[in-house]
Amino acid sequence: MKRPAPRLITSSPPHLLMPLAALALVLLYDALTIPGFFHVEMRDGHLFGSLVDILNRGAPVLLLALGMTLVLSTGGVDLSVGAVMAITGAMAAGLIARPEGFVLAGLDLHGSAPAIVAVSLVAGLAAGLFNGALVAFADVQPIVATLILMVAGRGVAQLLTAGQIITFEHPGFQFLGSGFVAGLPFPVTVAVAMFLVTAALSRGTALGLFVEAVGDNPTASRFAGVNARMVKLLVYGFCGLCAGIAGLIGTADIKAADANNAGLYMELDAILAAAIGGTSLSGGRFYLSGTLVGALLLQTLTTTILTKGVPPVLTLVVKAAVVVAVCLLQSPKFRSVAGRRFRREAT
């Protein structure tokens, strides 16, 4: 019997059609109104240009959205990713600068970048597993379970940094935010690598199917032998890990940890990117390729608004409109109403 090819490759484009069309539209607008928008040049072996900037700025959103996509498809949501970003950022900055009053001041990693990254990521993973345990084993609603860390997480991050904005100089760690690999910014490399790993794990193995099964019908999936609790625990853990990586990139980029503002409102971008990409918000279906396009669309939109010199806060209003539009397009009720009207006009 021939096994169906992994859906990553064969995924037929209907879910991708809308976001891709939107992305093309925004890019077309940019091409027409912003001179030199598509200009990419090589400087000192690094690529520069608006397009590269979009990729670079979009990397943290994509990382968050990858974890969020999986969480959403189990029928859950993770509101704490922004706070987790702040926690891992504070952790890394604290381990590097080791300021007065840092909680883990006793832990000396001798400035080893891999060790700092590893310890910080463990914190992110732990935060994710905490969410996962609440959702999977205590049966708390995901919004509520992750709300706890959303509230307390920034407090924990401030506790780590003793309420200060920790600044640091550490060339090895800063590479994570501002380094270049093969001409491309390092965050892009990390995001692409994570995307490929996630795609391979979820679509190359049965894991993705388990995740969708749990989101579609937890009871049925349990009868089918899927360990629903474990799947949920791992998915939230993965989401925490992704948020941790995004937090490290953000901290390395600005060479500082700001517990109050790191990752603020990022959870919304992540949910939005996944939703634009066609991932069902009620669970049961996910498209990683859609999430990729969704994250790019969001960042292109933001960069366009910034480049046009429109007040940056307008992005908030635009995002509000996008959220409603995406929700309406996903709503079966709206589709049936709109469909009926369309058909009536056609006849």
Closest CA to 167 of 88, 59, 92: 92
**Which of residues 49 and 284 has its CB atom nearest to other proteins in the complex?**
284
Contacting residues toward other proteins, per CB under 8 A: 77, 134, 138-141, 143-145, 147-156, 158-159, 162-163, 259, 268, 271, 275, 281-282, 311, 313-321, 323-324, 327-328, 331-334, 337
* Cα angle 28-64-161, degrees, rounded to a multiple of 5: 125
**Which of residues 138 and 346 has its CB atom nearest to other proteins in the complex?**
138
Nearest distance from C-beta of residue 183 to other proteins, angstroms = 35
Cβ neighbour number for residue 335 with a 10 Å cutoff? 12
Counting runs of H as helices and runs of E as strands, what totals does the chain give?
15, 6
**Which of residues 19 and 208 has its CB atom nearest to other proteins in the complex?**
19
Nearest distance from C-beta of residue 74 to other proteins, angstroms = 15
**Is residue 271 a contact partner of residue 77, using CB atoms and an 8 Å limit?**
yes
Nearest distance from C-beta of residue 4 to other proteins, angstroms = 31
The alpha carbon torsion through 293, 92, 259, 253 (nearest 10 deg) reads -50
Cβ neighbour number for residue 52 with a 10 Å cutoff? 18
DSSP string, 55-111: HHHHHHHHHHHHHHHHHHHTT---TTHHHHHHHHHHHHHHHHH--TT-TTTT---TT
Nearest distance from C-beta of residue 173 to other proteins, angstroms = 25
Nearest distance from C-beta of residue 122 to other proteins, angstroms = 20
**Which of residues 230 and 281 has its CB atom nearest to other proteins in the complex?**
281
**Which of residues 51 and 103 has its CB atom nearest to other proteins in the complex?**
103
